[in-house]
Amino acid sequence: MTLINCTPWGEMANGPAYLFRLTNSSGAFVELTNYGATIVSIHVHDRNGRLGNVILGYDNLQGYMADTNYMGATIGRFANRIAGAAFELEGSFYQLEANDGVNTNHGGHSGFHGKVFSHEIDENSIIFRYISPDGEGGFPGTLQLTVTYQWTEGNALLIRYHATTDQPTIANFTNHAYFNLSGEKSGIDDHKLRIYSDNIVEANPHHIPTGLILPAGALTFNGGNVGQKIAEEDGRRTGLNTCYVLNKQNTQLHQACQLADPKTGRNLTIHTSYPGILLYTGDYITGETHQPFGGLCLECQYFPDSPNQATFPDTILRPGEFYDHSIQFHFN
């Protein structure tokens, strides 16, 4: 049985924020907040039995309100970039909020990372709900989203995304946790990563897909050190912001990747129902609390710019349809 505690965490203009703690019988626990349906911390044991937080975050609500890195947040309506902050759907043109140059990233300024969700506490899970009105951020349709977090006895955090709409729209949700399995601020260079993918989505320097799917080649991760893939150009380290096409794709949970920290012995295995996973090595982390390359994101999702790429998996959600995708983070 998961023990769930709820603590008031601050007042927002559009509702109160709460901090939830889900603890299993081993003492490992996850902290969540309804602000952005965000993962605040994940405390799991190392090989010596010591608890440590394995994601980047903040100690208070103010940190998340000031954050520009999407730390642990639920991303929507559309994860990652949409070229030109626009798309066409069934003969209609939709202009979105441009927040990444001329492009939209992570839903624009009206993204779900800054929304206050309603909540419900179930037997061993937290259920967050948000209703996104028609036109919010430029997206069509009133969208009803449910994000469910479940913390198990086996140290698995299961995230389920359910959504419906009253008009044809596009949908692509993920979580933006930055993982650092060391539990310290030592960076992620020595982490070992395996991604179950032979191909990547080719993108231009602004991370907009060209429409081509290419062999991963030198960007293949077969269990080597993450730091070995981080290049240095003109005195600056340039990391990765790459979408991988997962080898096994179906509607059930399939293995996406494994991340390990040899120093602490902590391991993370990710399963998902999504067709892709985006690796971001945290190059542009800003603020006083965290530094670039202090953590990496493994964002299970549809491919970036899918609404403008006819050959990519379909991200259209229509009335009467039920959006249903899952991500599982399993720690051992």
Residue 184, pLDDT score: 86
- The yes-or-no answer on residue 299 being catalytic is yes
d(Cα 19, Cα 39) in Å, to the nearest integer? 10
Single out the catalytic residue among 113, 290, 299, 325. Answer: 299
pLDDT above 90 covers what percent of the chain? 90
User: What domains are there in the chain, each with its CATH number?
Assistant: 3-331 (2.70.98.10)
CA distances from 208 to 103, 137, 198, 230 (A): 9, 19, 20, 20
What are 187-206's pLDDT values in tens digits? 899 999 999 999 999 999 99
pLDDT values of the chain reduced to their tens digit, one per residue, 332 residues = 789 999 999 998 889 999 999 999 999 999 999 999 999 999 999 999 999 999 999 999 999 999 999 999 999 999 999 999 999 999 999 999 999 999 999 999 999 999 999 999 998 899 999 999 999 999 999 999 999 999 999 999 999 999 999 999 999 999 999 999 999 888 899 999 999 999 999 999 999 999 999 999 999 999 999 999 886 665 677 899 999 999 986 667 999 999 999 999 999 999 999 999 999 999 999 988 999 999 999 999 999 999 999 999 999 999 999 999 999 999 99
- The yes-or-no answer on residue 290 being catalytic is no
What are 81-96's pLDDT values in tens digits? 999 999 999 999 999 9
d(Cα 176, Cα 180) in Å, to the nearest integer? 13
Helix (H, G, I), strand (E, B) or coil at 235: coil
Single out the catalytic residue among 43, 45, 176, 191. Answer: 176
